[in-house]
Amino acid sequence: MTLPKEKQSVIPVILSGGAGTRLWPMSRKQYPKQFIDITGAGNTMLQLAAMRTHSFGDPIIVCSEQHRFIVGEQLQAVGITPRAIILEPVARNTAAAIATAAHVARGIDENAIIAVFPADHMINDVSGFTKALEQGIEICQGGYLVTFGVTPDKPETGYGYIHTSDKPVGNGFEVNRFVEKPDLDTACKFLADGNYLWNSGMFMFCADVLLAELNQTESRIVENTAQAIAVAKQDLDFLRLDPEAFAQCENISIDYALMEKSDRVVSVALDVGWSDIGSWESIWQQAEKNQDDNLLIGDVISQDSSGCLVHSHEKLTAIVGVNDLLIVDTDDSLLIVDKKASQGVKQVVELLQQQGRKERLHHRIVHRPWGSYDAIKNGERYQVKQLLVKPGASLSLQLHHHRAEHWVVVEGTALVVLGEEQKILAENESIYIPVGVKHQLSNPGKLPLKVIEVQSGAYLGEDDIVRFEDIYNRE
């Protein structure tokens, strides 16, 4: 199948559903690695992914419902307006996510090419990456499915591999097979062979070709994702898929569902300084280090130490006489791990889950669509927070059954609804919200509003909120 170039647009599709458990304590379930400036570069990985593909157009984003406002805000901050933000009601791996994006892309342009990228990859050579995408476009126009394979520079056991043939298609080669993560001896043989590439998880297809091919191997995914879109609901800037239809999709990757079964797969080689940033060790390996082979991010002093990564923004951290350590300090947790054991961080997160620890879920600073709050201090029957409300934003009209609150305005102007009354509070003014009384906090000004909130009561959990009105359509 050959489609005319002039009628085809390229739509980037960014998959933003990763958990990043091996990058704890910075990456957490409610704020995973793709939303963090984890390398100190100045932008989050989601922002970088959207920025390096923006020359092809505004993207389609696929993410979970709980991350929707983070995605919108982060892309707005870099001047990118997504064509769609698709909310997955449940996680169903990459086959369902990509099929859904392909349906949406065809609704935008029936001849669209989609270029699919995870949100949590790092690429150093953006111009080389763009050139590879342009090569992929030409191959897609011949009706092929393109996978981008990374040229290996070492015998890596942490990635799957793509074995390419000697048969060229454009600037790529037909794929013989996909190979699971090998042991070290096998990885060494792959490196020496020269026809093996790391499987990057990045793809490009004509949307209609993808759906036609996938319909031959996993037809229910094509059918269920089409149904999930047919009865989807538009909610502000978000497309809410039908939960029942989407949940019927098999939980399977696009590799297993299609790429390993199709005879129309072509791989384009990437040699662009790629990393999937899967662990703190991989960040250390990828980054530019100082003369002592250290990567120091934040307020860090190093003395007689080498081969270390130290990430510390909350406080001064000093290392003396240590080697090959990964040290990550956040507002509520400290990780110290031998570099060789960095994969074991995932087991720490599993232990936190077993113990029901909140440090697995979120940071001390929790982001909300109206701004954020910082849980400054927790004690028995009391809690102190700093609320930061964006200009024009409002918390929901709500009440609490178990806690009272005191609000003190420290910066900006607050509009407060308390029962049937409305009040304006300026800096250094305060108000008391009794248990069981409806209330709402808004920022009517053009500057951020900062409020110190003191909660008191027998139960202070975040689930003690009864919402009556909410401009963000939260339950």
Is 316 in the same domain as 451?
Answer: no
pLDDT over threshold 90, residue 386: yes
Is 154 in the same domain as 85?
Answer: yes
pLDDT band of residue 307 (cuts 50, 70, 90) is very high
161 with 198: CB under 8 angstroms? yes
Of 307, 332, 355, the last residue of a domain is 355
DSSP letter string, 142-170:
TTPEEEEEEPPSS--SSS-EEEEEEEEET
Is 264 in the same domain as 349?
Answer: no
Q: What is the pLDDT of residues 172-222, one digit of tens each?
A: 999 999 999 999 999 999 999 999 999 999 999 999 999 999 999 999 999
pLDDT > 90 in the chain, percent: 81
pLDDT band of residue 7 (cuts 50, 70, 90) is low
Of 275, 305, 329, the last residue of a domain is 275
Tell whether the torsion through CA atoms of 283, 285, 289 and 292 is positive or negative.
positive
Q: What is the pLDDT of residues 246-301, one digit of tens each?
A: 999 999 999 999 999 999 999 999 999 898 888 899 899 888 899 999 999 999 99
Q: What is the pLDDT of residues 231-257, one digit of tens each?
A: 999 988 899 999 999 999 999 999 999
Report yes or no on 271 lying in a domain.
yes
Q: What is the pLDDT of residues 425-439, one digit of tens each?
A: 999 999 999 999 999
Tokens of 373: 């709050």
Is 54 in the same domain as 116?
Answer: yes
Question: What is the residue type of 48?
Answer: L
Of 297, 320, 355, the last residue of a domain is 355
Quick check: helix, strand or coil at residue 171? coil
The candidate with the shortest Cα–Cα distance to 115, out of 137, 100, 85, 93, is 137
Report yes or no on 474 lying in a domain.
no
Report yes or no on 147 lying in a domain.
yes
Tell me what pLDDT residue 228 has.
Answer: 96
Q: What is the pLDDT of residues 392-409, one digit of tens each?
A: 999 999 999 999 999 999
Report yes or no on 360 lying in a domain.
no
Distance CA 231, CA 421 (A): 41
**Which letter, b or e, does each residue of 145-155 get, where b requires 16 or more Cβ atoms within 10 Å of its Cβ?**
bbbbbbebeeb
In CATH, what number is assigned to the domain containing residue 245?
Answer: 3.90.550.10
Mean pLDDT score of the chain: 92
Q: What is the pTM of this model?
A: 0.86
Distance CA 135, CA 170 (A): 7
In CATH, what number is assigned to the domain containing residue 425?
Answer: 2.60.120.10
Is 135 in the same domain as 22?
Answer: yes
pLDDT band of residue 2 (cuts 50, 70, 90) is very low
Domain count, the chain: 3
pLDDT over threshold 90, residue 158: no
Is 371 in the same domain as 345?
Answer: no
Residue 299, domain extent: 286-355
Is 221 in the same domain as 171?
Answer: yes
Is 18 in the same domain as 37?
Answer: yes
Report yes or no on 225 lying in a domain.
yes
pLDDT over threshold 50, residue 314: yes
Is 342 in the same domain as 435?
Answer: no
Tell whether the torsion through CA atoms of 208, 82, 240 and 234 is positive or negative.
negative
Report yes or no on 449 lying in a domain.
yes
Q: What is the pLDDT of residues 92-123, one digit of tens each?
A: 999 999 999 999 999 999 999 999 999 989 89
Cross-sheet strand order for the sheet of 421-425: 421-425, 414-418, 439-442, 397-399, 466-469
Is 164 in the same domain as 119?
Answer: yes
Is 311 in the same domain as 407?
Answer: no
Tell me what pLDDT residue 3 has.
Answer: 37
Is 45 in the same domain as 134?
Answer: yes
Find the range with the poorest average confidence among 16-30, 231-245, 412-426.
16-30
Tell me what pLDDT residue 460 has.
Answer: 92
451 with 386: CB under 8 angstroms? yes
Tell me what pLDDT residue 241 has.
Answer: 95
Report yes or no on 280 lying in a domain.
no
Quick check: helix, strand or coil at residue 49? helix
Find the range with the poorest average confidence among 30-44, 156-170, 186-200, 260-274.
30-44
Report yes or no on 107 lying in a domain.
yes
